Amino acid sequence: MTSTTPAPTRITVGGSAGTQPYDVLIGHRLLGELPGLIGSSAKRVAVLHPEALAETGGVLREDLESQGYQAIAVQLPNAEESKTAEVAAYCWKVLGQTGFTRSDVIVGVGGGATTDVAGFVAATWLRGVSWVAVPTTVLGMVDAAVGGKTGINTAEGKNLVGAFHPPAGVLCDLAALESLGVHDYVGGLAEVVKAGFIADPVILDLIEADPEAARSPEGPHTAELIERSVKVKAEVVSADLKESGLREILNYGHTLAHAIEKNERYEWRHGAAVSVGMVFAAELGRIAGRLDNATAERHRTVLKSLGLPVTYRGDQWPKLLETMRVDKKSRGDMLRFIVLDGLAKPSVLEAPDPAMLLAAHAEIAA
Protein backbone atom coordinates (compact mmCIF):
# COMPACT_ATOMS: atom_id res chain seq x y z
CA MET A 1 0.00 0.00 0.00
CA THR A 2 1.37 3.46 -0.85
CA SER A 3 0.53 6.56 1.14
CA THR A 4 0.06 9.76 -0.82
CA THR A 5 0.17 13.30 0.52
CA PRO A 6 -3.19 15.03 0.01
CA ALA A 7 -3.13 18.03 -2.31
CA PRO A 8 -2.58 21.28 -0.44
CA THR A 9 -5.29 23.89 -0.04
CA ARG A 10 -4.60 26.80 -2.35
CA ILE A 11 -5.91 30.27 -1.47
CA THR A 12 -5.25 33.00 -4.01
CA VAL A 13 -4.49 36.53 -2.90
CA GLY A 14 -5.61 38.87 -5.64
CA GLY A 15 -3.16 41.42 -6.99
CA SER A 16 -4.14 44.92 -5.98
CA ALA A 17 -2.37 48.29 -6.34
CA GLY A 18 -0.54 46.99 -9.41
CA THR A 19 0.91 43.89 -7.71
CA GLN A 20 0.78 40.29 -8.96
CA PRO A 21 -1.65 37.75 -7.47
CA TYR A 22 -0.06 34.90 -5.55
CA ASP A 23 -1.08 31.69 -3.81
CA VAL A 24 -0.97 30.62 -0.18
CA LEU A 25 -0.52 26.84 -0.03
CA ILE A 26 -1.50 25.03 3.17
CA GLY A 27 -0.64 21.37 3.61
CA HIS A 28 2.28 19.00 3.97
CA ARG A 29 5.58 18.50 2.11
CA LEU A 30 5.35 21.76 0.24
CA LEU A 31 9.03 22.56 -0.17
CA GLY A 32 9.05 21.00 -3.62
CA GLU A 33 7.01 24.06 -4.65
CA LEU A 34 9.86 26.42 -3.79
CA PRO A 35 11.86 26.29 -7.08
CA GLY A 36 8.67 27.02 -9.04
CA LEU A 37 8.12 30.16 -6.97
CA ILE A 38 11.75 31.24 -7.16
CA GLY A 39 11.76 30.80 -10.92
CA SER A 40 14.45 30.01 -13.43
CA SER A 41 15.78 33.53 -13.92
CA ALA A 42 17.14 33.65 -10.36
CA LYS A 43 20.77 32.67 -9.95
CA ARG A 44 21.18 33.38 -6.22
CA VAL A 45 18.80 32.68 -3.34
CA ALA A 46 19.22 33.96 0.23
CA VAL A 47 17.39 31.92 2.88
CA LEU A 48 16.76 34.15 5.90
CA HIS A 49 15.96 32.12 9.02
CA PRO A 50 15.97 32.63 12.81
CA GLU A 51 18.57 31.03 15.07
CA ALA A 52 15.94 28.52 16.26
CA LEU A 53 15.58 27.19 12.71
CA ALA A 54 19.29 26.92 11.84
CA GLU A 55 18.85 23.31 10.76
CA THR A 56 15.83 24.10 8.55
CA GLY A 57 17.74 27.00 6.98
CA GLY A 58 20.67 24.67 6.22
CA VAL A 59 18.44 21.98 4.72
CA LEU A 60 16.69 24.52 2.51
CA ARG A 61 20.02 25.95 1.38
CA GLU A 62 21.33 22.50 0.43
CA ASP A 63 18.11 21.65 -1.35
CA LEU A 64 18.27 24.84 -3.40
CA GLU A 65 21.94 24.24 -4.21
CA SER A 66 20.98 20.80 -5.52
CA GLN A 67 18.41 22.52 -7.75
CA GLY A 68 21.21 24.56 -9.32
CA TYR A 69 20.88 27.83 -7.39
CA GLN A 70 23.76 29.54 -5.61
CA ALA A 71 22.12 29.51 -2.17
CA ILE A 72 23.18 31.12 1.09
CA ALA A 73 21.62 30.80 4.54
CA VAL A 74 21.48 34.02 6.55
CA GLN A 75 20.87 33.54 10.26
CA LEU A 76 18.85 36.21 12.10
CA PRO A 77 18.21 36.55 15.85
CA ASN A 78 15.05 34.89 17.15
CA ALA A 79 11.77 36.75 17.45
CA GLU A 80 11.50 40.53 17.83
CA GLU A 81 15.26 41.03 18.21
CA SER A 82 15.50 40.52 14.46
CA LYS A 83 13.16 43.40 13.61
CA THR A 84 15.80 46.12 13.82
CA ALA A 85 17.58 48.47 11.43
CA GLU A 86 20.88 46.79 12.43
CA VAL A 87 19.66 43.34 11.35
CA ALA A 88 18.29 44.75 8.09
CA ALA A 89 21.65 46.46 7.46
CA TYR A 90 23.45 43.17 8.14
CA CYS A 91 21.25 41.47 5.52
CA TRP A 92 21.92 44.25 2.98
CA LYS A 93 25.65 43.76 3.60
CA VAL A 94 25.41 40.01 2.97
CA LEU A 95 23.38 40.55 -0.21
CA GLY A 96 25.89 43.13 -1.43
CA GLN A 97 28.81 40.84 -0.75
CA THR A 98 27.03 37.97 -2.51
CA GLY A 99 26.39 40.10 -5.59
CA PHE A 100 22.61 39.81 -5.31
CA THR A 101 20.89 41.25 -8.41
CA ARG A 102 17.30 42.14 -9.24
CA SER A 103 16.61 38.67 -10.63
CA ASP A 104 17.72 36.95 -7.39
CA VAL A 105 15.28 35.89 -4.70
CA ILE A 106 14.94 36.01 -0.90
CA VAL A 107 13.23 33.23 1.05
CA GLY A 108 12.03 34.02 4.58
CA VAL A 109 11.55 30.87 6.68
CA GLY A 110 10.38 31.37 10.25
CA GLY A 111 7.77 33.12 12.36
CA GLY A 112 6.19 36.49 11.73
CA ALA A 113 9.26 38.38 12.93
CA THR A 114 11.48 36.62 10.38
CA THR A 115 9.08 37.01 7.45
CA ASP A 116 8.55 40.71 8.37
CA VAL A 117 12.31 41.31 8.13
CA ALA A 118 12.83 39.08 5.09
CA GLY A 119 10.03 40.90 3.26
CA PHE A 120 11.43 44.27 4.30
CA VAL A 121 14.93 43.39 3.08
CA ALA A 122 13.37 42.19 -0.20
CA ALA A 123 11.37 45.42 -0.49
CA THR A 124 14.41 47.61 0.03
CA TRP A 125 17.26 45.73 -1.70
CA LEU A 126 17.78 47.32 -5.13
CA ARG A 127 14.34 48.97 -4.47
CA GLY A 128 12.62 45.62 -4.52
CA VAL A 129 13.41 42.00 -5.32
CA SER A 130 11.14 38.98 -5.27
CA TRP A 131 10.64 36.96 -2.07
CA VAL A 132 8.90 33.81 -0.92
CA ALA A 133 7.46 33.33 2.58
CA VAL A 134 7.72 30.00 4.36
CA PRO A 135 5.95 30.67 7.68
CA THR A 136 6.64 28.20 10.47
CA THR A 137 4.33 29.52 13.22
CA VAL A 138 0.54 29.68 13.41
CA LEU A 139 0.76 33.44 13.48
CA GLY A 140 3.04 33.53 10.47
CA MET A 141 0.74 31.26 8.46
CA VAL A 142 -2.56 32.95 9.25
CA ASP A 143 -1.38 36.53 9.24
CA ALA A 144 2.21 37.78 8.96
CA ALA A 145 3.27 35.99 5.77
CA VAL A 146 0.10 36.94 3.89
CA GLY A 147 -0.64 40.42 2.64
CA GLY A 148 2.72 42.04 2.03
CA LYS A 149 3.06 44.18 5.16
CA THR A 150 6.79 44.05 5.88
CA GLY A 151 8.79 46.02 8.39
CA ILE A 152 10.96 46.59 11.42
CA ASN A 153 10.60 48.38 14.78
CA THR A 154 12.32 51.58 15.92
CA ALA A 155 13.01 52.83 19.45
CA GLU A 156 9.76 54.79 19.22
CA GLY A 157 7.52 51.87 18.42
CA LYS A 158 6.44 48.77 16.61
CA ASN A 159 6.59 48.35 12.81
CA LEU A 160 7.21 52.07 12.32
CA VAL A 161 9.41 51.50 9.24
CA GLY A 162 8.33 49.23 6.43
CA ALA A 163 6.85 48.76 3.01
CA PHE A 164 3.98 46.97 1.31
CA HIS A 165 5.78 44.29 -0.71
CA PRO A 166 3.77 41.10 -1.32
CA PRO A 167 5.60 37.78 -1.66
CA ALA A 168 5.60 35.66 -4.83
CA GLY A 169 4.03 32.85 -2.81
CA VAL A 170 3.45 31.52 0.70
CA LEU A 171 4.12 27.91 1.72
CA CYS A 172 2.45 26.87 4.98
CA ASP A 173 3.81 23.43 5.80
CA LEU A 174 1.75 22.29 8.77
CA ALA A 175 4.48 19.89 9.92
CA ALA A 176 6.57 22.92 10.91
CA LEU A 177 4.14 23.61 13.76
CA GLU A 178 5.14 20.41 15.57
CA SER A 179 8.38 21.90 16.90
CA LEU A 180 6.73 25.10 18.12
CA GLY A 181 6.49 25.60 21.89
CA VAL A 182 2.95 25.80 23.28
CA HIS A 183 3.44 29.45 24.27
CA ASP A 184 4.20 30.44 20.67
CA TYR A 185 1.55 28.12 19.25
CA VAL A 186 -1.16 29.63 21.45
CA GLY A 187 0.09 33.18 20.81
CA GLY A 188 -0.69 32.69 17.14
CA LEU A 189 -4.23 31.66 18.00
CA ALA A 190 -4.92 35.26 19.08
CA GLU A 191 -4.82 36.28 15.40
CA VAL A 192 -7.05 33.29 14.56
CA VAL A 193 -9.57 34.52 17.16
CA LYS A 194 -9.24 38.02 15.65
CA ALA A 195 -10.26 36.63 12.25
CA GLY A 196 -13.22 34.98 14.01
CA PHE A 197 -14.47 38.19 15.62
CA ILE A 198 -13.97 40.48 12.62
CA ALA A 199 -15.21 38.18 9.85
CA ASP A 200 -15.72 34.45 10.40
CA PRO A 201 -17.52 33.43 13.62
CA VAL A 202 -17.31 29.72 12.68
CA ILE A 203 -13.69 30.02 13.86
CA LEU A 204 -14.97 30.92 17.33
CA ASP A 205 -17.44 28.02 17.32
CA LEU A 206 -14.65 25.56 16.41
CA ILE A 207 -12.42 26.81 19.22
CA GLU A 208 -15.20 26.94 21.79
CA ALA A 209 -16.20 23.34 21.00
CA ASP A 210 -12.83 22.15 22.39
CA PRO A 211 -10.36 24.88 23.41
CA GLU A 212 -7.84 22.37 24.77
CA ALA A 213 -7.66 20.63 21.38
CA ALA A 214 -7.25 23.99 19.64
CA ARG A 215 -4.06 24.59 21.66
CA SER A 216 -2.19 21.85 19.84
CA PRO A 217 -1.22 21.20 16.21
CA GLU A 218 -2.69 17.70 16.61
CA GLY A 219 -6.15 19.20 17.26
CA PRO A 220 -8.87 18.04 14.83
CA HIS A 221 -9.51 21.54 13.45
CA THR A 222 -5.96 22.86 13.03
CA ALA A 223 -5.99 22.93 9.23
CA GLU A 224 -9.52 24.35 9.09
CA LEU A 225 -8.71 27.12 11.59
CA ILE A 226 -5.63 28.09 9.60
CA GLU A 227 -7.43 27.94 6.25
CA ARG A 228 -10.39 29.99 7.46
CA SER A 229 -8.08 32.64 8.93
CA VAL A 230 -6.00 32.83 5.75
CA LYS A 231 -9.21 33.23 3.72
CA VAL A 232 -10.26 36.19 5.89
CA LYS A 233 -6.88 37.84 5.47
CA ALA A 234 -6.64 37.07 1.74
CA GLU A 235 -10.06 38.55 1.06
CA VAL A 236 -9.25 41.77 2.88
CA VAL A 237 -5.77 42.38 1.44
CA SER A 238 -6.93 41.46 -2.07
CA ALA A 239 -9.35 44.37 -1.84
CA ASP A 240 -7.08 46.85 -0.06
CA LEU A 241 -3.36 46.08 -0.11
CA LYS A 242 -2.19 49.49 1.09
CA GLU A 243 -4.65 49.95 3.96
CA SER A 244 -6.55 52.83 2.49
CA GLY A 245 -9.71 51.64 4.25
CA LEU A 246 -10.96 48.07 4.64
CA ARG A 247 -7.56 46.63 5.63
CA GLU A 248 -7.68 48.56 8.92
CA ILE A 249 -10.04 45.89 10.26
CA LEU A 250 -7.05 43.51 10.48
CA ASN A 251 -5.68 45.88 13.10
CA TYR A 252 -8.46 44.94 15.55
CA GLY A 253 -6.90 44.92 19.04
CA HIS A 254 -3.54 46.16 17.75
CA THR A 255 -3.64 49.81 18.87
CA LEU A 256 -3.20 48.82 22.50
CA ALA A 257 -1.29 45.60 21.66
CA HIS A 258 1.61 47.41 20.01
CA ALA A 259 1.83 49.81 22.98
CA ILE A 260 1.97 46.83 25.38
CA GLU A 261 4.68 45.15 23.30
CA LYS A 262 6.84 48.28 23.36
CA ASN A 263 6.19 48.79 27.07
CA GLU A 264 7.34 45.21 27.71
CA ARG A 265 10.45 45.74 25.55
CA TYR A 266 9.10 43.05 23.22
CA GLU A 267 9.36 40.34 25.85
CA TRP A 268 5.64 39.68 25.41
CA ARG A 269 4.76 37.79 22.24
CA HIS A 270 2.70 39.76 19.72
CA GLY A 271 -0.24 37.35 20.01
CA ALA A 272 -0.43 37.72 23.80
CA ALA A 273 -0.53 41.51 23.47
CA VAL A 274 -3.19 41.26 20.72
CA SER A 275 -5.28 39.13 23.08
CA VAL A 276 -5.38 41.89 25.72
CA GLY A 277 -5.78 44.49 22.98
CA MET A 278 -8.90 42.76 21.61
CA VAL A 279 -10.54 42.63 25.05
CA PHE A 280 -9.80 46.36 25.38
CA ALA A 281 -11.25 47.08 21.91
CA ALA A 282 -14.34 45.00 22.68
CA GLU A 283 -14.90 46.92 25.92
CA LEU A 284 -14.37 50.21 24.08
CA GLY A 285 -17.01 49.19 21.55
CA ARG A 286 -19.38 48.17 24.35
CA ILE A 287 -18.83 51.41 26.28
CA ALA A 288 -19.35 53.42 23.07
CA GLY A 289 -22.76 51.75 22.78
CA ARG A 290 -21.89 49.76 19.67
CA LEU A 291 -21.26 46.22 20.91
CA ASP A 292 -23.59 44.06 22.98
CA ASN A 293 -22.45 42.81 26.40
CA ALA A 294 -22.47 39.13 25.42
CA THR A 295 -20.14 39.54 22.43
CA ALA A 296 -17.78 41.70 24.49
CA GLU A 297 -17.71 39.05 27.22
CA ARG A 298 -17.22 36.30 24.62
CA HIS A 299 -13.80 37.81 23.86
CA ARG A 300 -12.68 37.22 27.43
CA THR A 301 -14.11 33.71 27.57
CA VAL A 302 -12.65 32.39 24.32
CA LEU A 303 -9.22 33.97 24.81
CA LYS A 304 -8.97 32.78 28.43
CA SER A 305 -10.03 29.27 27.41
CA LEU A 306 -6.97 29.16 25.13
CA GLY A 307 -4.69 30.33 27.94
CA LEU A 308 -4.18 33.82 26.49
CA PRO A 309 -3.91 36.89 28.77
CA VAL A 310 -6.88 39.27 29.06
CA THR A 311 -5.47 41.79 31.56
CA TYR A 312 -2.43 44.06 31.81
CA ARG A 313 -0.71 46.07 34.57
CA GLY A 314 -3.06 48.90 35.55
CA ASP A 315 -0.35 51.42 36.45
CA GLN A 316 1.00 51.74 32.89
CA TRP A 317 -1.92 53.57 31.27
CA PRO A 318 -0.27 57.01 30.71
CA LYS A 319 2.66 55.37 28.91
CA LEU A 320 0.38 53.16 26.81
CA LEU A 321 -1.75 56.16 25.82
CA GLU A 322 1.34 58.08 24.76
CA THR A 323 2.58 55.21 22.57
CA MET A 324 -0.86 54.68 21.02
CA ARG A 325 -0.61 58.20 19.56
CA VAL A 326 2.00 57.01 17.00
CA ASP A 327 -0.20 54.11 15.89
CA LYS A 328 -0.45 54.09 12.10
CA LYS A 329 -4.21 54.53 12.22
CA SER A 330 -3.85 57.88 14.03
CA ARG A 331 -4.45 61.00 11.99
CA GLY A 332 -2.84 64.11 13.45
CA ASP A 333 -3.82 64.19 17.12
CA MET A 334 -6.81 61.91 16.54
CA LEU A 335 -6.71 58.38 17.91
CA ARG A 336 -8.65 55.83 15.86
CA PHE A 337 -9.62 52.30 16.93
CA ILE A 338 -11.18 49.32 15.22
CA VAL A 339 -14.22 48.26 17.22
CA LEU A 340 -17.14 45.92 16.56
CA ASP A 341 -20.70 47.06 15.92
CA GLY A 342 -21.61 43.38 16.40
CA LEU A 343 -20.11 39.97 15.69
CA ALA A 344 -18.20 40.17 12.36
CA LYS A 345 -19.14 43.83 11.98
CA PRO A 346 -15.91 45.78 12.35
CA SER A 347 -15.91 49.55 12.10
CA VAL A 348 -13.79 52.56 13.02
CA LEU A 349 -14.20 54.57 16.23
CA GLU A 350 -12.58 57.97 15.86
CA ALA A 351 -11.43 60.28 18.66
CA PRO A 352 -13.15 58.46 21.53
CA ASP A 353 -13.75 60.53 24.64
CA PRO A 354 -10.78 60.11 27.06
CA ALA A 355 -13.27 58.98 29.72
CA MET A 356 -14.34 56.11 27.46
CA LEU A 357 -10.74 55.04 26.95
CA LEU A 358 -10.16 55.12 30.69
CA ALA A 359 -13.30 53.08 31.34
CA ALA A 360 -12.24 50.47 28.76
CA HIS A 361 -8.79 50.40 30.32
CA ALA A 362 -10.33 49.76 33.76
CA GLU A 363 -11.85 46.56 32.30
CA ILE A 364 -8.42 45.14 31.41
CA ALA A 365 -6.38 46.57 34.30
CA ALA A 366 -4.89 43.91 36.51
Ligand X SMILES: NC(=O)c1ccc[n+]([C@@H]2O[C@H](COP(=O)([O-])OP(=O)(O)OC[C@H]3O[C@@H](n4cnc5c(N)ncnc54)[C@H](O)[C@@H]3O)[C@@H](O)[C@H]2O)c1
List 49, 149, 215, 286, residue binding ligand LNCXM5UN (CB under 6 A): 149
153 touching ligand LNCXM5UN, by CB under 6 A: no
Cβ proximity of 225 and 214 under 8 Å: yes
Rounded-to-integer distance, Cα 143 and Cα 344, Å: 17
Binding part of the chain for ligand X, among 178-186, 204-212, 282-290, 293-301 by CB under 6 A, reads: 178-186
Rounded-to-integer distance, Cα 73 and Cα 94, Å: 10
Q: Which candidate in 258, 269, 286, 299 is catalytic?
A: 258
- Applying the rule CB under 6 A, the residues between 3 and 42 that interact with ligand LNCXM5UN are none
* Burial of 169: CB neighbours in 10 Å, binned 0-12, 13-18, 19+: buried
CB of 301 to ligand X, least distance (A): 23
Q: Is 191 a catalytic residue?
A: yes
Q: Is 262 a catalytic residue?
A: no
List 116, 200, 227, 283, residue binding ligand X (CB under 6 A): 116
Establish whether 112 is an annotated binding residue. Answer: yes
Establish whether 149 is an annotated binding residue. Answer: yes
Q: Which does 247 bind (CB under 5 to 8 A by kind): ligand LNCXM5UN, ligand X, none?
A: ligand LNCXM5UN
325 touching ligand LNCXM5UN, by CB under 6 A: no
CB of 338 to ligand X, least distance (A): 14
| Distance, CA of 97 to chain centre | 30
Establish whether 116 is an annotated binding residue. Answer: yes
Per-residue contact string for residues 252-271; x = within reach of ligand LNCXM5UN by CB under 6 A: --x-----------------
CB of 304 to ligand LNCXM5UN, least distance (A): 20
Buried b (16+ CB within 10 A) or exposed e, 191-221: bbbbbbbbbbeebbebbeeebeebbebebeb
Rounded-to-integer distance, Cα 286 and Cα 292, Å: 6
Rounded-to-integer distance, Cα 305 and Cα 163, Å: 35
Torsion angle in degrees (nearest 10) through CA of 275, 120, 240, 13: -90
- Applying the rule CB under 6 A, the residues between 185 and 204 that interact with ligand LNCXM5UN are 191
Cβ partners under 8 Å of residue 109, min gap 6: 47, 48, 49, 53, 56, 57, 60, 134, 136
Q: Is 165 a catalytic residue?
A: no
Q: Is 137 helix (H, G, I), strand (E, B) or coil?
A: coil
List 25, 141, 241, 250, residue binding ligand LNCXM5UN (CB under 6 A): 250
